[in-house]
Amino acid sequence: MGNKNKTISFRVSEDTFKDLREIAEQRDLSLSAVFRDYVDQLVSHDGQVEIVPEEELTDKQETDGLPPRVEVPKSFVRENERLKLETDHLREQLQEHKEYMRHLRQKVNEQDDDIIQLEDLDEDRDSVGESDDHTFQLG
């Protein structure tokens, strides 16, 4: 059920055929590629394709002002600027957080000797020979 290509055939005069072949050779395309491009454009623009000589095309492009310009609402521009500022602010906060975390890690590494693990205390008590008769309660 995939897309199957269909063949379209029509007749043109010999002079027109020669002109079309020259156009295809100038653009380094096959004659069928020229027609495929034309048909694709015709279909995509709902039959509203205008064929214009190149001389008129360059004049028309100059008056159209390429690249085309689009008017954007001010609210969109403001929202875009606000989002950019918020992004910058969040990046700054992230950088500050990373620096703070780096500082805390460095501080923990420096104070490694001051940290006493509860497991170490249990091992010390067992080696002294104290019994487990004493129960302690945190509260």
| Residue ranges of domains in the chain | 12-50, 71-111
Cα separation, 40 vs 38, whole angstroms: 5
- Residue-wise pLDDT for 46-81, tens only, equals 777 777 777 776 655 455 555 667 788 888 889 999
pTM of the model: 0.34
Cα separation, 8 vs 6, whole angstroms: 7
Low-confidence ranges of the chain (pLDDT < 70): 1-2, 57-68, 112-115, 124-139
Place of tokens 């780096």: 102
CB 31 within 8 A of CB 21: yes
Q: What is the CB neighbour count within 10 angstroms for residue 47?
A: 7
- Give, rounded to a whole angstrom, the gap between the first and last alpha carbons of the chain: 75
